[in-house]
Amino acid sequence: AQSVAQPEDQVNVAEGNPLTVKCTYSVSGNPYLFWYVQYPNRGLQFLLKYITGDNLVKGSYGFEAEFNKSQTSFHLKKPSALVSDSALYFCAVRDGDNFNKFYFGSGTKLNVKP
């Protein structure tokens, strides 16, 4: 079965500092991994994905994520956080048997303070 874990409910960083939001996964077969961001009372917005290729994936708004197969991790990173990055972040994996089905982590609330 596919699953995703986000061990941190909340991450606090100061503006300008680097940020990391953690995600680990468990899949059968090749992982198709995603990060989405959710602003209050809004749907999810796609940030980036890993399908194959380079382990470092670059996405929207300056975010990137590093795929680590040995650690089964897909941590989201940004070199310099902005206050506007404050939101809820979800890691997701696509089902290997049903490509239409996504499994989401519990979400991590990112707080960037000025």
Q: What x-and-dash track marks residues 30-69 binding another protein by CB under 8 A?
A: --x-x-x----xxxxxx--x-x------------------
Give the bridge partners for 5, in sequence order.
24
Rule CB under 8 A: choose which of 90, 93, 110, 112 binds another protein. 90
Rule CB under 8 A: choose which of 64, 66, 96, 102 binds another protein. 102
Q: SS3 of 106, please?
A: coil
Give the bridge partners for 35, in sequence order.
48, 91
Please state the closest distance from residue 38 (CB atom) to another protein, in A: 8
Q: How far is CA 104 from CA 26, 33, 51, 73, in A?
A: 12, 10, 16, 14
Give the bridge partners for 58, in sequence order.
64
Residues near another protein (CB under 8 A) are 9, 32, 34, 36, 41-46, 49, 51, 90, 94, 99-102, 104-107
